[in-house]
Chains A and B, each alone.
Chain A
């Protein structure tokens, strides 16, 4: 994960950053999904894009009607075998860097059609590489927002320069989420809320 080694080191009114951080920030703040819904999960995706949940808060509200302009493919719904080749073609048409969210039970592993379905792909990762799986049948819009934030974390971990040798796998590694719900509390400070008590 990119360490903010230079950001915020000086006082206010002074902005310092690196090209890498600036690019990642720009990318993760404008993930444009593709207008692409296959089944009932698309209804929840529309709800996440509408005003109550407001996907546009994260810069991802511009649903593009063309895969050429999209960064993110939210596979929302049951992928049938006939649709699988179309999904793959749409994925190939998207420009790099591109990301895929597998939304719902059907796209993560076949869902209710897992065992007996003759027509459903048993998970969309048999068709396209999936970055984030969002479970649920269908997932709540909050779950989709969480998946989008995981995509943002993944973008934040990307590096411009590929390091050869030495450090091993550092490139495009999925970083530790910065909002996983885990709260670290320093021992010597006052607790702000009750739920932050780790060792009462």
Chain B
């Protein structure tokens, strides 16, 4: 499937006509659009109205010490259309003091846990999220372990913990 014959161009043209020049690229038939954090919610709501009704995934990448990366975090929104089967990737780049994007739970209910996972592992805040708690790490955990500056030693080795025997269980 080449990009010229892909029917996603209609959506892209209307998107560019509405929101001005956005950075788009195509790799192996998959289209990627980079938007600014301010325009993210409007772009996603516009894309949902124009047919991309399925939010496949919300995830993030930490570009700390990545060669040539101008920003630290890259949010990834994977969209799909259940009618036409088209797919679209949205990227938002964030930087370190208070990385924050608007929550899209009001558009897709399924974004609730996806955004909680990103908050848990990357520490990216989602403004307007109804219940931004940790999802996969325990409640008392304080760090965001998928950040590249998280220490590799983790929580220590086995000799740091007492072993429970049946006598004091």
Q: Which residues of A pack against B, CB within 8 Å? A: 81-82, 84-85, 109-110, 114-119, 122-123, 125-129
Contacts and interface: CB of A to CB of B under 8 A. Distances in A.
B145 A115 contact: no
Chain B CB count within 10 A is highest, among A81, A109, A128, for A81
Interface of B: 136-138, 141, 145, 150, 152-158, 161-166, 169
28 contacts: A81-B137, A81-B141, A81-B155, A82-B136, A82-B137, A84-B138, A109-B158, A110-B157, A114-B157, A114-B158, A115-B157, A116-B152, A117-B154, A118-B145, A118-B154, A119-B145, A122-B158, A123-B158, A123-B163, A125-B163, A125-B164, A126-B161, A126-B163, A126-B164, A128-B164, A128-B169, A129-B164, A129-B169
Nearest to B153: A116
A123 B166 CA distance: 15
B138 A82 contact: yes
A82 B134 CA distance: 11
Main secondary structure of the interface of A (DSSP, over half): loop
Contacts of A123: 158, 163
Main secondary structure of the interface of B (DSSP, over half): loop
Given A116-B153, A125-B163, A126-B162, 18 more contacts: A81-B141, A82-B136, A82-B137, A84-B138, A85-B138, A109-B158, A110-B158, A115-B153, A116-B152, A118-B145, A118-B150, A118-B154, A118-B155, A119-B137, A123-B158, A126-B161, A126-B164, A128-B164
A126 B157 CA distance: 12
Contacts of B161: 122, 126
Nearest to B166: A129
Nearest to B150: A118
Contacts of A85: 138
B136 A122 contact: no
Closest 9 CB pairs between A and B?
Answer: A118-B154, A122-B158, A129-B166, A82-B138, A129-B169, A126-B161, A81-B138, A118-B145, A125-B163
B169 to A, nearest CB: 5
Contacts of A118: 145, 150, 154-155
Contacts of B152: 116
Contacts of B158: 109-110, 114, 122-123, 126
B137 to A, nearest CB: 6
A125 B141 CA distance: 21
Contacts of A84: 138
Nearest to B165: A129
Nearest to B135: A82
A125 B167 CA distance: 13
